Amino acid sequence: MFHIEMRQLPYNACHFNLSPDELRVLVEPWVRGQVIEVSDRRWRPDEATMTIIEGPELALHELKLGRGWRNAERVGKDVTRQIIAEAREVVHEQELAAAAPPPASAAPDPLSGDLAELLGQDAAWLLVAWRASAASSSGLAPSESLALAEQAVRSSRGS
């Protein structure tokens, strides 16, 4: 079980007894720099901190009267750095996979005209990465998802 605390003075919120999948749903967007929602509040990674404790499930009586976080810290272990590092690796691998050129048999149709000229020499792969970035990062402006796609194509090309 995992327990998280979100903190941005003067606010803090705790969420207890999360499964690994429930935690992943919060941590992966967090490492992408996306806003997450915990306890009816929106938290931005550039303004707030996240602490993750791994430990046994806490019973209702252990959470009452505001004692939940202290009990989680007492019986659990702070795994924030480890979980964040693992999530960063997963996100990086997802971005590389989204930007990787498809096999020759599945290559996208070549672009022509002004759009191809604007997108540069990797126009076809950039379009594939842009679509993948836009699909996996809902809420981003098209220019922001294009920037992510450009970064992914550069990374996959080693430049």
pLDDT of residue 115: 57
Residue closest to 80 by CA, chosen among 7, 13, 4, 18: 4
> Which runs of consecutive H residues, i.e. helices, occur in the chain?
20-31, 60-63, 68-75, 80-99, 113-119, 123-136, 142-157
Closest CA to 98 of 132, 125, 130, 148: 132
Burial class of residue 116 in the structure, from the number of CB atoms within 10 Å of its CB (0-12 exposed, 13-18 middle, 19+ buried): middle
Q: What is the pLDDT along the chain (159 residues), one digit of tens a residue?
A: 999 999 998 899 999 999 999 998 899 889 888 888 888 889 999 999 999 999 999 888 888 887 888 889 999 999 999 999 998 888 888 877 777 665 555 554 545 555 556 666 666 667 777 777 777 766 777 777 777 777 766 765 554
Tokens read off for 65: 């009267």
The predicted model scores a pTM of: 0.60
d(CA 89, CA 31): 10
Cα 8 from Cα 11, distance rounded (Å): 5
